[in-house]
Amino acid sequence: MNLEITGKLAAFLPEQSGQGKNGPWVKQEVIMDTEEQFPKKVCIACWGDKASAVKSYSIGEKLRFGINIESREFNGRWYTDVKAWRIERANQSSEARQQPAPLIEEQPYDGGSGDDDLPF
């Protein structure tokens, strides 16, 4: 699931780090204000290299996050995480967005010369 969310960076929560079975980990959560008719606050978790990357942005900057949303159950309650896999300024475009759409060449219509095998 590849989702995007755009809004203004509102706050940095305290960085968290620790040691897991796969080695050390670091998580930086940020609060973003969406820019809709009724704005929402969204907490986005940035893990590993994204945790240090998000610190290069300033409060109030308009950012675009590529996110994954995942829920898990613990002791009968469900918890949902919004995890960033891409962070960029909202006015920047990724290379894929800058590529023009491929042109489709139209084939001339010959008006039914009977040379094709189509049944209609």
Query: What digits encode the pLDDT tens for the residues 42-72?
Result: 999 999 999 999 999 999 999 999 999 999 9
Dihedral over alpha carbons 103, 105, 106, 110 (to 10 degrees): 180
Going from the C-alpha of 90 to that of each of 5, 20, 77, 95, the distances in angstroms are: 10, 34, 35, 14
End-to-end C-alpha distance for the chain, whole angstroms: 41
Query: What average pLDDT does the chain have?
Result: 84
Q: Tens digit of pLDDT for each residue in 20-37?
A: 999 999 999 999 999 889
CA distances from 61 to 8, 37, 85, 104 (A): 5, 19, 18, 39
Residue 51 has what DSSP assignment? Answer: H
Instruction: Write down the pLDDT at residue 39.
Output: 92
Q: What is the mean pLDDT of residues 115-120?
A: 55
Q: How far is CA 92 from CA 12, 27, 63, 64, in A?
A: 22, 25, 9, 9
pLDDT in tens, 67-114: 999 999 999 999 999 999 999 999 865 444 444 445 445 545 555 555
Q: Kindly indicate whether the domain formed by 3-92 is annotated with CATH number 2.40.50.140.
A: yes
Give me the phi and psi of 112, to 5 degrees please: 90, 60
pTM over 0.75: no
Alpha-carbon distance of 11 to 16, in angstroms, equals: 15
